[in-house]
């Protein structure tokens, strides 16, 4: 399996300024995923999401929902900042 962020190469002391989990967020792609799985809208394990000391096996539809949720979260935080609603 290949990794997306290659966090093993990060200097963990330097990236901690971005948050305690920043240097540990990565995704390990399932190399056994076939074209057939996606074309037939099956939901096999797309890979493993690594955050902190935890690993979650996720399907392709779950990846889409995670991405959508995180984009919405960023939008809400930015909107609150722009509206002066932050302390």
Q: Tell me the per-residue pLDDT of 49-73, one tens digit each, with 9 for 90 and over.
A: 999 999 999 998 899 999 999 999 9
Give the pLDDT score at 66. Answer: 96
Name residues whose C-beta falls within 8 Å of residue 46's C-beta, 6 or more positions apart in sequence: 29, 30, 33, 58, 59, 60, 62, 63
Tell me the pLDDT band of 2, cut-offs 50, 70 and 90.
confident
Q: What is the pTM of this model?
A: 0.79
């Amino acid at each position: 399996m290949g990794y997306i962020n290659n966090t093993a190469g990060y200097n963990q002391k330097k990236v901690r300024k971005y948050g305690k989990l920043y240097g540990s967020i990565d995704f390990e792609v399932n190399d056994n995923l076939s074209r057939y799985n996606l074309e037939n809208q099956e939901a096999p394990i797309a890979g493993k999401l690594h955050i902190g000391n935890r690993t979650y096996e996720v399907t392709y539809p779950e990846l889409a929902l995670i991405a959508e949720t995180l984009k919405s979260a960023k939008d809400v935080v930015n909107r609150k900042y722009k509206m002066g609603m932050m302390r």
